[in-house]
Amino acid sequence: MIKPATRSLAAILFLTGASAVNAQKAASPADLPFIGSVSAADPRAEAAGMAMLKRGGSATDAAIATMLALTVVEPQSSGIGGGGFLVRGAADGSVETVDGRETAPMGATPDWFLNADGSVPPFMDSVLSGLSVGVPGNIALAAEAHARHGTLPWAVLFEPAIELARDGFPINVRLAQSLTQSRDRAAANEGGRALFYDDQGRPLPAGTLVRNPELARTFEAIAKGGREVFYRGPIASAIAETVASETPRPDPMTQADIAAYQAKVRDGVCGSYRGYRVCGMGPPSSGGVAVLQILGQLERFDLAALGLGNPVTWHLFLESQRLAYADRELYIADSDFVSVPVDGLLDRAYLAERSALISPDRTMDEARPGMPRGAQNALADGDEPEERGTSHIAAVDAAGTMISYTSTVEGAFGSGLTANGFYLNNELTDFSRSPTIDGKPVANRVEPGKRPRSSMAPTVVFDPEGRPVLAVGAAGGSTIPVTTVRAIIGVIDFGLSSRQALALPFTMAFGDSVLVEEGSWLERRIPALQALGHTDISVREAPIKAGAIKREGTIWEAARDPRLEDVLLIPRATPLP
């Protein structure tokens, strides 16, 4: 299963710091036709997407191939054992979204996570069990998107991922760190231990070549038989049996739960910001609404005139976050189960009312939820934990179609349970484990067949002339909408390139507390932020990674978060004799 890494093409790309996208750009004469571009958190996954574009595939094809490859090389963040959201923005301005969020099994009731006495157990007790696993949605999402907008044969999309799983991939620094830091999940069962740990239980070091033949066989079966092979038959049986064996409840996930899963085509949410049209994912994701609220509440302030280095610019950004997240906590959930006042939350008059609470020279005493049109006032704020996992994919094809696709298993290595060569998600812990608070029902409580609220914010942007200009999104749990807005503001207000926008300092308001990215130039502005009323400021590493593709004239520039550069390296290993 494991051996020292040979100098494969993928390893050479890592060692040189090159990506498939940048290599194509550098080697292609300017007069050659544009075939497309891909951004992903791992260059090998980017290469899988670019391979589809080089064969004449669509952005949809490229994004799916990238997701499949990430299942192999970035198992800590995403994959076919999880779910995601996909936003498609076409050159004609049309927008389509596909919801592949995981679902609770039909046996999951509001007291799903509670102890017999009604108390809430320690969080990791819930995570490291079958209780946390939702029915995976990524394969259904991929099949739905491909049926609508794929141009290459379905089986072709699996070829790069099959090769990576069958022939092996070298562990990079980032995965090696995750195997150490998240050992409780990565090594939770025999499947994970056999792949990524040695006989003494030590995590394999960076540079080790890992083969995953079981995952290769799984991919081959789905490539040949389509989505139904995943949701019915031996693959589904293995998932159900694995989850049921670790579920301390009488009604665990069943094969019927898996067979019933459907990806859903939903209406996207769109708004305007300084003449640009910004579109994202609606419920059960909170990300699209939060992005549009933060931007809408900031629009009355001339950020460009204030300047990128002005602490007031960042103060305004923090205050707008506080208001948007107060609304999100109370109102956003699966709209198939709860009435979500999306139109009211994005109404321009409501956003103006909320924006009026923001002052450029002081902080709000308390950021409370508003009362948008259509809101229910009988709901409570739940006890959802901080989300952590996830990976973002952006792709653009020769027609100018943009795909923004965020995929996740929730926490690092999800639940730690494995089946068929991949990790299973822990997305159900994105529900509020407490179904009621002070006697009021929580919108994001567990219910049979329900999809937990998400922070994912895959976004596409059109310029004032209606032309596609930006596909952007992020990973990092609850930080995702903030990271996404930060990039959009960087592009629109300050004219930054995609890479420059992703490199901006990160800061986020968590209620009345503020995080400022350690080592960033914004850290030097903390005294000024404190003078504006942000007194509870912590400084630490930013828990984020983002990706974007931006149109610069006739060229599309792809970028991944520069924070990933060092951890994507693969140390040189002794070649095989």
Question: Catalytic residue positions?
Answer: 390
Q: What is the DSSP string of 211-255?
A: --HHHHHHHHHHHHH-HHHHHSSHHHHHHHHHHHHT--SSS---H
Could you tell me which of 152, 154, 178 has the C-alpha nearest to residue 77?
178
Could you tell me which of 209, 202, 207, 175 has the C-alpha nearest to residue 76?
175
The DSSP output letter for 362 is B
Beta strands in 327-423, from DSSP E residues, in sequence order: 391-397, 402-408, 418-419, 422-423
CA gap 105, 136 in Å, rounded = 11
CB atoms within 10 A of CB 108: 25
What the block records as the tokens of 275 is 């003449």
CA gap 505, 36 in Å, rounded = 29
CA distances from 56 to 148, 260, 356, 374 (A): 16, 33, 50, 46
Q: Which residues pair with 263 in a beta bridge?
A: none
Could you tell me which of 268, 554, 560 has the C-alpha nearest to residue 400?
554
| Cβ atoms of 278 and 292 closer than 8 Å | yes
Enclosing H/E stretch for 437: strand 436-437
What the block records as the tokens of 200 is 């003494």
CA gap 285, 332 in Å, rounded = 8
- In 300-347, which ranges are continuous DSSP H helix? 303-306, 311-331, 342-346
Residue for token digits 């939702």? 134
CA distances from 252 to 123, 177, 309 (A): 19, 33, 53
CA gap 256, 100 in Å, rounded = 18
| Cβ atoms of 25 and 53 closer than 8 Å | no
The half-sphere exposure of 302 on its side-chain side, counting CA atoms within 13 A, is 2
CA gap 289, 332 in Å, rounded = 9
Exposed, middle or buried: residue 504 (CB in 10 Å: 0-12, 13-18, 19+)? buried
